[in-house]
Amino acid sequence: MTDHQTSGSVDPRIAPKPALRRFHQARWDEKLIFELGTPGERGVLPPLPEPTVTAAVGDPAELLPAALRRSSPPALPELGQQQVLRHYLRLSQENLGADLNVDVGQGTCTMKYSPKVNDTFVRDPRIAALHPAQDASTVQGVLELVHRLEQLLKEISGMDRVSLQPGAGSAAIWTNVSVIRAHHAARGELEQRDEIITTAFSHPSNAACAKTAGFRVITLHPDADGYPDIEALRAAVGPRTAALLITNPEDTGIYNPRIAEFVRIVHEAGGLCAYDQANANGILGITRAREAGFDLCHFNLHKTFSTPHACGGPAAGACGVTAELAPYLPRPTVEFDGERYVLDDDRPDSIGKIRPYLGVVPNLVRAYAWIMALGAEGLREAAETAVLNNNYLLHRVRRIPGVSVPYAEGRPRVEQVRYSWQQLNEDTGLHSEDLGYRAADFGTHYWTSHHPYVVPEPMTLEPTESYSRADLDEYAAILAEVAREAYEDPETVRTAPHRSTVHRIRHEPLDDPAVWAVSWRAYRRKVLGEQP
């Protein structure tokens, strides 16, 4: 460009970005993988048997009865390698990982930053390629790491032993319930102690695991202040009480100050107390399961200890117990004999296996590295900042018209808050879900709550320590904008999302057995009417 007159007419100053980003989700309009490719294309070639091997053994399948030889290959699509790569890369772009957004909207899930450096350790062949049956002498590094992580979590919880075998939080709850069952069985009281008590604001997996393990479940509902009703607990306990499974702070973000009293009441009735520490992120180094008198506790390493959520696992859970209950923990344990680390599989009272081998070792590696990067002071700083961030966001969000903060008026919240859009719902007819869908148009989202909704029109936010003040301000501004639209332009919210990969999904076919399609195969037969 040499013509000064022309270029001079373009204002070189670029207007500042607006307060809210003009987001649009990637939209590749990508086909289903079964609609891609052409017969003959190949994505990867596996090795063929060597000719001398074939010469020696022939076709081993020939030795099988015809019924056990697959008659026609599976009807998988046929694509070249780059075509497969591109398809899945496009799908990844149509997904909003926590690395890309201000992910404070998945309350109770503690969507904190998962440090990238920790991923490099688990991709190293000295973790990724290790086989669990390798001789202990060849895996001393990983055994030491698991042993050290147990010591760290013992101190963080105050418990005497910690099992790292459960695959996630609910598996850890199951493990604790199974340990409770073994404890009462060993004392000959299992038949008598068939009831487990939990609270309405504890994670529903507590009730579900207890029930699956054969217990009856008694739920305590919140009193008018949102605390679990302690008089109801007194009325509930008795000779049938096996255990109390309880979260604290509960999913409202309210810390139950009478928790030690809860534990005492259950202990006096002969029951055990298990602390669901899914919500531990605000209290690391502040208060522990030990001080409150618990017999068992569990952490979610993918929440509090930073391992990535991976679209819903693999995750990892950690169960801490008192010395009295330690014999029941899953086998094997990792022990140090003074010279080397060994697996102890000879544990006759153990409940057995919860997950193959030692659990989700790659996530144990990540969690260990995260704790080692922070130390005691860093953990406390993480907790305090998570709580500061939460109360800061609370301060911003409660001013948005249509929002309320049920229960314990004026009390601080710990690391999360369950808000309610009930007022907005009454004013506009729009539901919390509608607002959440509209939030997607701004590059974020939020979660409502578990069912049944105890708080009407709920929204649960948990900002963790990972987000900056600017991040929180942006998130609050998005919510304020969505709420403003709900009052002034409800149609936009009601029909949201508008800038997402897809529009509102029609759910009816998903509930109709005649047409629901869990697979391409089912879709072709039931919806397209093709004969298999």
Partner 1 sequence: MTSAPSARIGLVVNPVAGLGGRVGLKGSDGAEVQRRALALGAHPQAVARAALTLRRLPSDVELVTVDGPMGASSAQAAGRPARIVHRPSGAATTAADTRAAVRALAAAGVGLLLFCGGDGTARDVLDALGPDPRLPVLGIPAGVKMHSAVFAVHPRAAAEVAAAWAAGRGVRLEDAEVVDRDEAALRAGRVSARLYGRLTVPVLPARVQQRKTGSSGPDPGAPAGIAAEVAERVGPGGLLLLGPGSTTYAVAAALGAPGASLTGVDLLRLGPANANATAAATATAARILIRDARADQLRALPATPHIALSPIGGQGFLLGRGNQQLTPELLRATGRDRLLVLATEAKLAALAGRPLLLDTGDPDLDDALTGHVRVITGRRSGAVYRLSA
Partner 2 sequence: MSTRVPRTHPYIPNSAPQVRKAMLAAIGAQDVEEFYADIPAALRLDRPLRLPEPLGSEARLVAHMEELLSRNTAVPPGRSFLGAGCYRHHVPAVVDEIINRSEFLTAYAGEPYEDHGRFQALWEYQSLMAELLSVEVVNVPTYDGFQAAATALRMAGRATGRRRLVLVGAIDPDRLSRIRDYVRGVHELVPVPADPAAVRAALAEGDTAAVYAQLTDHDGRVDQDLPQYIELAHQAEALAVVHVNPLSLGVLTPPAELGADLTCGDLQPLGIHPGYGGGNAGFIGSPDDERLVAEYPSRLFGLAPTDVPGEYGFGDVAYERTSFALREEGKEWVGTAAALHGIAAGVYLALMGPHGMREIGATILANTAYARQRLASVPGVELPDPQAVHFADFTVRYTGERTAAEIAEALLARGLHGGTPAGADEGRYCVTELHTRADIDRLADALEETVK
Instruction: Pick out residues in 343-362 that bind partner 2 (CB under 8 A).
Output: 351-362
Which does residue 426 bind out of partner 1, partner 2, none, counting CB within 5 to 8 angstroms by kind?
Answer: partner 1
Q: Closer to partner 2 at the Cβ: 19 or 63?
A: 63
Instruction: Tell me: does residue 453 bind partner 2 (CB under 8 A).
Output: no
**235 touches partner 2 (CB under 8 A):** no
Name which of partner 1, partner 2, none residue 418 binds, using a CB cut-off of 5 to 8 Å depending on partner kind: none
Partner touching 274 among partner 1, partner 2, none, CB below 5 to 8 Å by kind: none
- 50: Cβ–Cβ under 8 A, 6 or more apart, which residues? none
Query: Of 121 and 427, which has the nearer Cβ to partner 2?
Result: 121
The alpha-helical segments, DSSP class H, found in 360-400 are 361-397
CB nearer partner 2, residue 262 or residue 326 = 262
Supply the minimum distance, in Å, between the C-beta of residue 450 and partner 1.
Answer: 5
Question: Please, which of residues 237-296 interact with partner 2 by CB under 8 A?
Answer: 254-257, 259-260, 283-288, 291-292
Measured distance CA(319)–CA(300) in Å, rounded = 9
Least separation in angstroms between CB 8 and partner 2: 42
Select 3 or 126, whichever has its Cβ closest to partner 2.
Answer: 126
Q: Counting contacts by CB under 8 A, is residue 204 touching partner 1? A: yes
Complex with partner 1: residue 417 or 455, whichever CB lies closer = 455
Distance CA 184, CA 179 (A): 9
The answer to whether residues 372 and 442 touch, using CB atoms and an 8 Å cutoff, is: no
Q: Taking every pair of C-alpha atoms in the chain, what is the biggest distance, in angstroms? A: 95
Nearest residue to 379 via CA among 506, 307, 282: 282
Q: How many CB atoms lie within 10 A of CB 482?
A: 27
CB hemisphere CA count around 377 (13 angstroms): 0
168 scored as a contact of partner 2 (CB under 8 A): yes
Q: Which of 217, 374, 480, 517 binds partner 1 (CB under 8 A)?
A: 217
Kindly report each contact of residues 435-439 with a partner whose C-beta sits within 8 Å and lies 24 or more positions away, as own/partner.
435/459, 435/479, 435/482, 435/483, 435/486, 435/493, 436/105, 437/493, 437/496, 437/497, 437/504, 438/482, 438/485, 438/486, 438/492, 438/493, 438/496, 438/497, 439/105, 439/478, 439/479, 439/482
Of the pair 37, 107, the CB lying nearest partner 1 is at 107
Contact with partner 2 (CB under 8 A): which of 238, 412, 429, 488? 412
Could you say which of partner 1, partner 2, none residue 53 binds, taking C-beta under 5 to 8 angstroms by partner kind? partner 2
Interface with partner 1, residue 443, by CB under 8 A: no
Binding to partner 2 (CB under 8 A) within 1-60 occurs at 25, 30, 32-34, 41-50, 52-54, 56-57, 59-60
Q: Which pairing describes strands 216-220 and 241-247: parallel, antiparallel, or unpaired?
A: unpaired
Task: Tell me the window of 11-19, 307-315, 416-424, 452-460 that interacts with partner 2 (CB under 8 A).
Answer: 307-315
Stated as kind and residue range, the H or E segment containing 488 is helix 469-488
Question: Which residues, 474 to 513, sit near partner 1 by CB under 8 A?
Answer: 490, 494, 506-508
Q: Which of residues 310-329 bind partner 2 (CB under 8 A)?
A: 310-315
Q: Dihedral of the CA atoms 78, 310, 512, 31 (nearest 10)?
A: -30
x/- letters, 513..532, toward partner 2 (CB under 8 A): x--xxxxxxxx-xx------
Query: Which residue's CB is nearer to partner 2, number 257 or number 401?
Result: 257
- Supply the angle between the helices 116-123 and 361-397 in degrees, to the nearest 10: 160
Burial of 87-121, coded b for 16+ CB within 10 Å and e otherwise, reads: beebeeeeebebeebbbbbbbbbbbbebbeebbeb
Site for partner 2 in 126-155 (CB under 8 A): 126-135, 137-142, 144-145, 152, 155
- Spatial CB neighbours of 208, under 8 Å, sequence gap ≥ 6: 170
State yes or no: residue 448 binds partner 1 (CB under 8 A). yes
Locate 170 and state its tokens: 């609910």
**Among partner 1, partner 2, none, partner that 167 touches (CB below 5 to 8 angstroms by kind):** partner 2
Task: Report which of 446, 472, 456 is spatially closest to residue 390, judged by C-alpha positions.
Answer: 472
Q: Which residues bind partner 1 (CB under 8 A)?
A: 106, 108-109, 169-170, 200, 203-205, 207-208, 211, 215-226, 229, 231-236, 312, 425-429, 431, 433, 447-448, 450-454, 490, 494, 506-508
